[in-house]
Amino acid sequence: MVFDIINPATGEKINSFEAMSDAGVQGILEQSARAQHDWAATSFAERARLMKSVAQTLLNNREEYARLMTAEMGKIYTQGIAEVEKCAWGCEFYADHAEEFLASEDVETEAQHSFVTYKPLGVILAVMPWNFPLWQVFRFAAPALMAGNGAVLKHAPNVFGCALLIEQIFIDAGMPANLFRSLLIDVPQTTQVIRNPLIAAVSITASVAAGRAVAGEAGKVLKKCVLELGGSDAFIVLEDADIDRAVEVGIVGRFQNSGQSCIAAKRFIVVDAVYDAFEKKFVDQVRQLQMGDPSQAGIYIGPQARVDLRDGLHDQVQRSVAAGAKVLVGGEVPEGPGAFYPATVLAGVREGMAAWSEELFGPVATLIRVKDEQEAIQVANCTDFGLGGAVWTRDLARGERIAADEIQSGAAFVNDMSKSDPRMPFGGIRNSGYGRELSIHGIREFVNVHAVWVSAP
């Protein structure tokens, strides 16, 4: 099998990769297992030194790495630069904190000495998506490696160049050979890798369907999974919100990365008292977003990663319109090459529409008018997803109460958009998955929580 890499902005083939053989994959897994065995015996200080070298390698080559993401999946070049810098931040964060996060903990019992240690599991398989080709991988790899694990990556086929680049970054930074490897394989081979006894656990960021498939295979062989799946985040705007600021942040939250983000603000739930003002300001700003070549300055909406994804998104918009939604801006497939779709706003969205119940993974915002705070919370929670959410209000106590006690999700933000941060746990509930990445919680996902009890002779 050959995987062709298509530039989504032009439709042109820019590279191709041949799938690895089963024997080649087995050889890589064996090499990774040996490398991980030695790596687990290294000190945190040595791991941290090398992980900081990875961070510096990222920063030294940010322009080159951003250009590859732009070519392979259409990422806006300046946003690619920011993504590389965020990867470096994640590496530095875990280099600085891994030893503290995984320090042994004494427990008071009747034993002479009882304590809990955190030990690496082995080689972890990461199944990762194309929308953040570097960050999705590094937010897994930095804590996994700092915990003493090894890693093999099954990346999305349309960013296999990025997959090999990440492997090379670890090599260039001086990490042990084979500690991190990329597998250029298809879905059936991925199933075989999950079942392989050399794989200790699995982390996947993907669609709900892919997450269910991977979790099912891992469950058959009783291997732990961390699942970060889709999202349909609510962005609640209450009557006392700073409307100008909410619109400004909401535009970024919905349309950055050309709308291709699981944690994007997708459902704008606005109370009636300020709905008209919010809609006007929001639509006016969306009209100003420039669509075009993602490598050029001033462009905010690049292509979707693949034509089939663009067409699927347009189908969701058309089905919603047929059910009564109104297109305020955008909503039409442009002529010409590439997988472009314009920044789009739908109003009049209600229960039963595709735009209400399905994840719109692209530059489409849905506006939902509600009566008051109570209805806003009800609508926010009326979803099969539960990744993130946001509430906008000048009353911080009110916002904190809603974020902490009312919004049903893995994270909630007051007067800000949903985002990932190495210092905070990241993950969801319901169809958004389970387990956590980042922070102390992320590094403890792929370790053996090992209890030790010592009694006097």
Task: Estimate the crossing angle of helix 44-60 against helix 77-101, to 10 degrees.
Answer: 170
400 has catalytic annotation: no
Phi then psi for residue 78, to 5 deg, are -65, -35
Selecting among 72, 92, 167, 228, the annotated active-site residue is 228
Selecting among 91, 162, 225, 262, the annotated active-site residue is 262
Q: Are the C-beta atoms of residues 317 and 364 closer than 8 Å to each other?
A: yes
Q: Are the C-beta atoms of residues 337 and 346 closer than 8 Å to each other?
A: no
225 has catalytic annotation: no
Quote the CA–CA distance of 157 and 167 in Å, as a whole number: 15
Residues annotated as catalytic are 228, 262
